[in-house]
Each structure stands twice: as C-alpha cells, then as structure tokens.
Amino acid sequence: MFDTPRFANRSELLGIAVLAVLLLVILPLSLDVFRLNLVAKYLTYSFVALGLVLCWGCGGILSLGQGVFFGLGGYCMAMFLKLEASSAANTKIQSTPGIPDFMDWNQLTELPFFWKPFHSLTFAIVAVLVIPAIFALIVGAAMFKRRVGGVYFAIITQAIAAILTILIVGQQGYTGGINGITDLRTLKGWDIRTDHAKFILYFVEVGCLFVCIFAAQFIRHSKLGRILVAMRDKEDRVRFSGYSVANFKIFAFCAAAVLASIGGALFTLEVGFMSPSFVGIVPSIEMVIYTAVGGRMSILGAVYGTLIVNAAKTSFSESFPQLWLLGLGALFIAVVLAFPNGLAGIWRDLIQPRLDRFSRSPKPDAQWSQPMADKAPAE
Amino acid sequence: MFGDYSLSDLGAIFAMQGFAGLILFSVFLLMALGLAIIFGQMGVINMAHGEFMILGAYVTWLTSNFFQAHLPALFGGYFFVAMVLAFFASGALGMLVEWGLIRHLYKRPLDTLLATWGLSLILQQCYRSIFGAREVGVDLPQWMLGSFQVTDAIQIPINGVFVMVLTILITCAVAYILYWSRWGRQVRAVVQNRVMAGAVGINTEKVDRYTFALGCGVAGVAGSAFTMIGSTGPTSGQLYIVDTFLVVVFGGAASLLGTIASAFTISQAQSTLEFFLSGSMAKVITLLAIVGILMLRPQGLFALKVRK
C-alpha cells in the first residue's frame, strides 16, 4: 500500500529513524527524570506544531487559535482526572463531598451536567478526539464555505482563543478559573505523579507522537496532501479543476485540531494540571512560531523546532528573564525575514548537499521541498 | 434582569453606561482608525499596533513629568504638546519599521502578522526595561478634573468629554486626509492599483511609508488620549489589539464609516451588558456575537463592492 502514493522516501525514513533513536534512546539515557519530564512537556506542543504543518505549511491556512484545541483536549482529560481525584473519600472535608474542590469553593453543591459523563475514561478519550473535531468543523465550515481565508481567518481564530480564555477565567465554578484544574492524582488508580509513572508516560507519549507523525506523512504524501499544496499556491485553479476547496480546507483544519487536542490531553497527563494560560492568544501564536522555526513544510522539523525553541525558552528564562522576550521577538522576525523555511530549509540548503557529496547518493526527492520564499501564497 | 430597578433608575443606568460606552468607543475608534488606515488601506496586519499606542502614552507621561518639573505655569496645556509629540514619535517609529520590516513583506500578509507580533514582544520588553513594569498614570490638569452634574443621578466626567471631542476631531482629520486631500487620493490610488499608480508617476514606496507612518501616528495620539482615562503599562496595548482588529473587520476593512459604526456598536453593547452581567461574560457575549455575525457576513457591516 506504500507504493502509490509513496508513504515516505528514503531520506524521510532515515530522518524518522534518527528522531526515534534520539527520543527513545539518547534522551531517556542522558537526562534525569525532571529534565525528561520537561522534554515530555515540550513534545506535547509538537503535536500542535505537526497539525500546523498540515494546516498552515501545506494548506496555507494560518490558525492563530490552536491553543483552543490544545485546551479543549487538555480540559477533557483534566476533567476526568479531577473527578477521579475528588472521590467522596478524598474530599471529606468539603461542604459537599464528591465534587472538585474549586466547585466547593465557589458554592456549587452539585456536579454540573456537562461534567457528569467525564466519570468515564472511555468518554474522556472519545471527547478528546471528537469535541475539537466538531468545533473545528463548525468554525471551518462557516468560514471556508464563504471563502473567508487568509488574514481574516487568522484574526477570527485569534478572537475565538480570546473568547475561550475569558470564558474559562470568568466561569470559575465550572472550570477552575485562572488557576485551572489542578491537583490531579491518579489515572484509574495508577498514581501519575511518581517518577516511574512519568518515565512510562514519556514513552507512551513518544509512541503517540510517532503514530501522529506517520499519519501526517501519510496525509501529506497522499493525493489529498498534494491537493492541499496546490490549493495553497493557486486556489482558483484547484477550484476550477472541480475540487471542493472548502472541504479540503475544513479537513486540514479539523486534522490540525485533533492533533492539537491529543497534545493537550497528553500535556495534562504529563504535567498534572491544565489552565487557561495554555489556551489564549499568546500560547497559540507561540505554537505557530515552533512550526515556523522548524520549517513550516517539514513534519520532522516541527518536532525539532518545538524542542529547540522550548529548550531555549527554559534555559534563557532561567538565567536572563529579560532577554527571553527580546530573543523570542527577534526569532519571530528572523524566521520570517531571513529563514522562511526554518531549520528544515537550512538543513536542506546547507547541510544536506554536503552530506550528499560525501555519500554520492542521488539527490533527495525534491517534490515536497521547493523553497517557498518567493512563491508564498498570495491572499 | 431589569426587575430590581425602577424606570428612572434604568434611565440613569442606561445614560451612565451609555456614557461609559462612549468613552470605550473613543478608545476603540482611535485605535481602530490607525488600523483602518494600515490594515484597511494597505492590507498589512500590524500586531504591534497596541505598542505604538503605548509609545504615545509613554510620551505623554514623559511630557507631563517634564512640564511638572520645569514649566509648572503651563501645566494646563501640556496635553496638546504631548499629543503632537506622541504623533511624531509613533509616526517616526512607524516609518522606521516600514523601512526595516514591512516593505519586505507586502506579498506575504500572514508573515507580516508573525513579524509584527515579534516586534510587539520586543517593544514590550523595551518599555519594561526603560519605564519599569509598573503601570504609570499622568496627573490631569486642574480644568480636566471634576464632572458635569446633569441630573441627580447622572454625572458626566470632564476628561471623558474631552477625550470624546478629541476623537471626533481626529476622525474628521483622518477622513479629510484620506478622502479629500491630494495625498489621500494617492494612497487610495496605490491601494486600488499599484502598477497603474506607479505608471502615472506616484512614488508608491513613499506613499506606503507615509501611510504606515500616519497609521502609527494616529495610534500614538490614541495612546495620548488613553492616558486621560486609564493608566499605562508595558502590556496595556495587547489588551486591546484583538478587540481593535475585530472592530476593523466587523466594520468592513476598507470603510471608515464602517469602522465608526462598528466601534460604536461594540462599545455600547459591551458597556451596557457589563452593568447587568459580570465584566467577563459581557465581553464573551459581545465577542461571540461579533464572531457569529462575521461568520454569516464575512465582509463586515459596510463592505465596499469591489470586483475581485
């Protein structure tokens, strides 16, 4: 089944293998549990970046609201974990035992109806996958069917991110407010706070990441992926050829939403809380920069970009907190002005040719790797 | 939700909230004017617009400090000096940014968005390093304090009236510049057909640069007016940027009248709702309504009918 369309060419498979060795062997052996947990936290963002590669890099749809989907996934997971953590035995001292602590503080005496299904893990997992997809479908259908795209779409998705943040912060009794949902303890009785659990969760997450990478590779090398790229570059020609442009865009947006949501759910498991500070405008636009740094067309670049930007953020803000914002701002500008293809572009233009000269292997498949600086989508 | 108030109370509430809404309207409109020039006319997304506004606010603060220390006799009039300074400071920065950043990106609007976001982060950090992280407020001159007592229940603060008058004047000035002056005609010519405009001898690069500078300058004046009604911090600009973009998009990007109408609708809706609901819910409902309407009518309230 991998013959036509080709699933991944040789150099891509090699790249995936290198990433697998890095994530599964080198990092777990060389880092302590605290640092490994940090890497796990960064990797959850790389799910979002993967989605943005499909949606923005291939489809040309810039969504500044990926934090919404990250948050939806994260909150679905957090609601399940919170309900498990606030069993009647654990919350004896509250005036209403058996409901989450922040509801008790906000004088709620009963679990709200939309929290009730989250007693079931199956429902929570289905919700993580389905709720963001439905939400993205509604937003995408409303926008793309009316041929709204480009800048307008970016602004509206950004507004949605702002709305959701304000809503979560304002409805403290139902959502935990600005603090988010904290103090998550166990997953089906298995304590997720121990070092051992974190170690295992890291491998679970890397497994999920590779499933998503393969899925993204498959989408991009299929006919669908090629239509997405065609649509980005010449939307009208694709439409005149008889394709429903809106439906392809909706699909790309929904796929990106589901990927972001999976990342959010894993984030909750890894870090042990979820709060509106991962939903709003600022995190959403930072997630775009991860993709841009890695190379907006490169699936593996998205993972490396996320890891590098986040590692830089952590180390900079530990030692020079003032410099980090300046650095991040400069990174935004540099990536746009000087390196529109990000790390993947640098690798392809500077490093790969030299490697090829050594090994004298045939040139890599150029089909997906044309520079796009000069032919970026015209709005 | 009206049940607990008598009819005269309700009248006073609507009048007071309406007036609060008018002040919000002034802030929205002043910010949106600059954006309507930059985004509506040039199609450039300037996410650093709020930071240009804050620059104007800081210039006003510096001027007021200067007058307090060196020219206390003229303190009553410092605001007018500050406004002019704010215009030129923000305009000059805008010109620099256009030259260094924006002009390379006219063909890539989505990338402009990312680059100007980076610029806004840098500016915020600069403000924080220079002026400190704490919010600063200016001292109002004596004649701007106090309020008009219209009836027993209705009070109207003078600084609010002043800001509103200022807004109306600036709006008229911008409308004049864009629609009646020779330079405004050049701007619109460049927007409608860049190649043709160049062919008839308009220096399109220069027009671009001055248009961007004008938009930023108006933002600076907006910041100056903003100090009259609120305090300024390094991140104050970011609070308004999403609302302002929605104002411009909701009004129909290239229409000045639309911008005014949508700023009015949004600010009035928000401030009236704010009295009856909590502030956050009022904002959520207003924003949701805008986004909903924009999904049904993506071209905004007052769309120019242009053949694409």
Listed residue (B282, B212, B297, B284) closest to B249, CA to CA:
B297
Output the pLDDT for position B52: 92
pLDDT (tens digit, 0 to 9) for every residue of chain A, 379 residues total? 444 446 667 778 888 888 888 888 888 888 888 889 999 999 999 999 999 999 998 888 999 999 999 999 999 999 999 888 888 777 777 777 778 888 888 888 888 888 888 888 899 999 999 999 999 999 999 888 888 777 888 888 988 998 999 899 888 888 888 888 888 888 888 888 888 888 899 999 999 999 999 999 999 888 898 999 999 888 889 999 999 899 999 999 999 999 999 999 999 998 888 999 898 888 998 899 899 888 888 889 899 999 999 998 888 888 887 788 888 888 888 888 888 888 888 888 888 888 877 776 555 544 444 444 444 444 3
Residue A374 pLDDT? 41
B121 is a domain residue: yes
Indicate whether B15 belongs to any domain. Answer: no
Asked whether B243 and B51 are in contact (CB, 8 A), the reply is no
Nearest to A163 among B105, B122, B288 (CB): B288
Q: Which domain holds residue B164?
A: 24-132+156-235
The pLDDT value given to residue A367: 46
CA distance A46 to A121: 24
Cα A306 to Cα A28, A258, A295, B91, B165: the distances in Å are 18, 18, 11, 36, 49
Round to whole Å and give the CA distance between B301 and B304: 10
Contacts of A283 in chain B (CB under 8 A): none
**Statement: residue B36 has pLDDT above 70:** yes
Alpha carbon distance A347, A352 (integer Å): 6
Q: Is residue A273 within 8 Å of A78, Cβ to Cβ? A: yes
> Quick check: is B291 in a domain?
no
Alpha-carbon distance of B40 to A223, in angstroms, equals 37
B52: in domain: yes
Give CA separation, B23 vs A23, B157, B230, in Å: 55, 10, 11
At residue A377, the pLDDT reads 42
Question: What's the rounded mean pLDDT across residues B94-116?
Answer: 87
pLDDT at residue B4, rounded to an integer? 63
C-alpha B6, offset from chain centre: 36
| Run of H or E including A191 | strand A190-191
B45 within some domain? yes
State the CB neighbour count (10 A cutoff) for residue B133.
10
Query: In this structure, which amino acid lies at residue B201?
Result: G
Q: Are A304 and A294 in contact (CB under 8 A)?
A: yes
The verdict on residue B14 lying in a domain is: no
Q: Alpha helix locations (H) across A53-86?
A: 66-85
Q: Check residue B217 and give its pLDDT.
A: 93
Question: Percent of chain B, pLDDT > 90?
Answer: 13
Boundaries of every domain in chain A: 10-284
Among B113, B295, B39, CA closest to A148? B295
Look at A62 and B110 and tell me if their CB atoms are within 8 Å: yes
Q: B232-265, pLDDT tens digit by residue?
A: 888 888 878 888 888 888 887 667 888 888 888 8
ipTM of this complex prediction, to 2 decimal places: 0.83
Query: Which site among B46, B101, B104, B110 would you substitute to test the A interface, given the most A Cβ atoms closer than 10 Å to its Cβ?
Result: B110
**Residues A316, A324 contacting (CB under 8 angstroms):** yes
Torsion of CA A282, A288, A292, A296, to 10 degrees: -170
- Predicted confidence band of residue B89 (pLDDT cuts 50, 70, 90): very high
A79-88, B273-282, B289-298: segment of lowest average pLDDT: B273-282
Domain count, chain B: 1
Closest-CA distance, B99 to chain A, in angstroms, reads 13
Give the nearest chain A residue to B243 (CA atoms): A159
Mean residue pLDDT of chain B comes to 83
Say if residue B2's pLDDT is above 80. no
> Which residue of chain A is at minimal alpha-carbon distance from B288?
A163
Residues of B whose CB is below 8 A from A64: 113
- What pLDDT was estimated at residue B308? 44
Please determine, for residue B216, whether its predicted confidence score (pLDDT) is greater than 90. Answer: yes
Is 70 exceeded by the pLDDT of residue B273? yes
Specify which of A158-172, B18-32, B69-83 reaches the highest per-range mean pLDDT: A158-172
Q: For chain A, positions 165-194, list CB contacts with chain B under 8 A.
A: 166-167, 169-170
Would residue B198 count as lying in a domain? yes
Residues of B in contact with A333 (CB under 8 A): 101, 115, 118-119, 122
Exposed e or buried b per residue across B237-254, where buried means at least 16 C-beta atoms within 10 angstroms of its C-beta: bbebbbbbbbbbbbbbbb
Within 13 A of B89's CA, how many CA atoms are on the CB side?
23
Q: Which residues of A touch B113 (CB under 8 A)?
A: 62, 64, 151, 154
Q: Chain A, 340-369: which have a CB under 8 Å from a chain B CB?
A: 340
Residue B306 has pLDDT above 90, yes or no: no
Residue A318, token pair as written in the block = 């530990």
**Residue whose pair of structure tokens reads 């400190």 in the numeric block:** B132
